[in-house]
Amino acid sequence: MGRTPCCNHKQMKKGAWTVEEDQKLITYIQTHGTGSWRTMPQKAGLQRCGKSCRLRWFNYLRPDIKRGHLSEEEEQTIIRLHAALGNRWSSIAKHLPMRTDNEIKNYWNSYLKKQLDIKGLDTFSTKPICTVSSSSDSEPITTQKSKSNDMYMVPSKNIGFHEPNTNQQGSSKSESSQLLNKVAKKIVGSGYLDAVKSLQLIAGNNSNDDNIVTKNELESKSDSIIKQSHVPNFSTISSHSSTSAQLLNKMATSLCQKSHVHEAARAMFSKLMEGDAKSEASTDGLNLFEDEPKITRIIDSPSSPTLTFNEVLTHSCFLDNWQCFSSNYISFGNCAASGDESSVMIRSSSFCIESPNNYSTLCFLDENAPAASVADKSDDYFNEILMCEDEISKYIQYL
């Protein structure tokens, strides 16, 4: 069963493409179009894997891509989209016409990330990095955060991790690797990851199923999940090296911080409950949303736990007060547990994700942002920074 293999990899050429190869690929695609990458190399007279041909075409040869320096506007777009989407380069690339995901990824890794680090900005949330005191003796973790959405990478480069590189074959494991595997087993055994998965499952069910989980169910489920989960204690684990110890301390600290997402979710669910009775009156019969908002994803980043909603299309009822027609990202600051609605500020921008006929706007609830510090920003994208508790509470209540 199944298909025949696409190519014999042993006979395939690797490395940089020559001008002749490029020309062959271009000529073939101009005649026959893209697709059927499996058979393309042979038909085009190329000793390349179909995968390699596809990559070469999409990232370099196709005519509808723009190469060269990214503009200021493109740069800002990447920063904001990365703050909302994380390392989903293909999704980010869709909002930057004529730019490839590979180019954006390279630009981010080689330039933008460093620029943001220099400026002292958290590359996930684009907010200033908060200083979180570590319970361990190791250095603060503030600069070691993963830039990924929902997982934590081992920051090998920055902590002097001198273990041999065994990831290519996976045959020989260092002592540190073995130790980390043991830790991973402990984490899995603790039930913490199950708790996170359960939370995400709720979100997943909510987005895929017409039978939406009721607010009461969400509240009770989130409660039980929060009660069940606990952060594993790494203090008794012995390490074989100081770097491993530092790494483990960082992991432990990171996991402790992860409990914030539960608080964030809990606060959100509480607001859902509170808003239940009030929402009808506050919307005053207006049909604000064309579709029911549903939680589709929970990004459990400790620096910026985020609840992602499906795209909610609204009429322009908010237009006079603030430029957020709809919101599908709600990102909490580091102290979501504070939950003081009066200090909640919305930073809304006129930045549209996709808007053939409707608008979708990124919208961050920044609970710790003092009014002055945000208002001082001169960034064009944040030129609509307004305190509007009534609108915020109305929106939250409806959600």
By C-beta, is 70 or 252 nearer to DNA? Answer: 70
| Distance in angstroms (rounded) separating the CA atoms of residues 303 and 318 | 29
Report d(CA 87, CA 89) in Å as an integer. 5
4 binds DNA (CB under 7 A): yes
In order of 220, 328, 345, the CA distances from 384 in angstroms are 37, 18, 12
Q: Which stretch binds DNA (CB under 7 A): 33-41, 251-259, 286-294, 313-321?
A: 33-41
> Nearest distance from residue 216's CB to DNA, in Å?
30
How many chain residues interact with DNA (CB under 7 A)? Answer: 45
Stretch that binds DNA, among 3-11, 281-289, 307-315, 328-336 (CB under 7 A): 3-11
- If DSSP codes are grouped into helix, strand and coil, which group holds residue 276? helix
Q: Cβ closer to DNA: 114 or 197?
A: 114
Between 73 and 117, whose beta carbon lies closer to DNA?
A: 117
Q: How far is it, in rounded angstroms, from Cα 13 to Cα 382? A: 49
In the complex, least distance from residue 29 CB atom to DNA, rounded to whole angstroms: 13
Binding to DNA (CB under 7 A) within 89-128 occurs at: 89-91, 101-103, 105-107, 109-111, 114
Closest contact distance (angstroms) between CB of 250 and DNA is 16
Rounded least distance, CB 276 to DNA, Å: 33
Q: What does the DSSP 8-state code read for residue 363?
A: E
14 is a site residue for DNA (CB under 7 A) = yes
* 199-238 binders of DNA (CB under 7 A): none
| Residue 262 contacts residue 386 (beta carbons within 8 Å) | no
Binding mask 136-155 for DNA (x = CB under 7 A): ------------x----x--
Q: Which is nearer to DNA, 134 or 303 (CB)?
A: 303
Span near DNA by CB under 7 A; candidates 31-39, 213-221, 235-243, 340-348? 31-39
**CA torsion sign, 154 to 159 to 164 to 165?**
positive
Nearer to DNA (CB atom), residue 29 or residue 324 = 29
- Write the DSSP string, 294-325: -EEEEE--SSS-EEEE----B-GGGTTT-S-S
CB 207 within 8 A of CB 310: yes
Q: Which residues, in sequence order, are CB contacts of 196 under 8 Å at separation 6+?
A: 229, 258, 261, 300
Site string for DNA, 73-92 (x = CB under 7 A): --------------xxxxx-
* Both tokens assigned to 88: 């989903």
- Closest among 397, 392, 345, 395 to 368, alpha carbons compared: 345
Helices assigned H by DSSP within the chain: 19-32, 40-44, 50-56, 72-85, 89-94, 101-107, 113-118, 175-190, 192-208, 215-228, 242-283, 371-375, 389-398
Residue placing its CB nearer to DNA in the complex, 297 or 347:
297
Sequential DSSP letters for 242-270: HHHHHHHHHHHHHHHHHHHHHHHHHHHHH
Query: What residues between 157 and 196 interact with DNA by CB under 7 A?
Result: 165, 167-168
Region from 10-18, 182-190, 330-338, 377-385 binding DNA, contact rule CB under 7 A: 10-18
Minimum separation from the CB atom of position 100 to DNA (A): 8
3-state secondary structure of 119: coil
By CB under 7 A, residue 8 contacts DNA? no
Q: Is 368 in the site for DNA (CB under 7 A)?
A: no
Q: Give the interface with DNA as residue ranges (CB under 7 A).
A: 1-7, 13-17, 35-38, 50-52, 54-56, 59-60, 67, 87-91, 101-103, 105-107, 109-111, 114, 148, 153, 165, 167-168
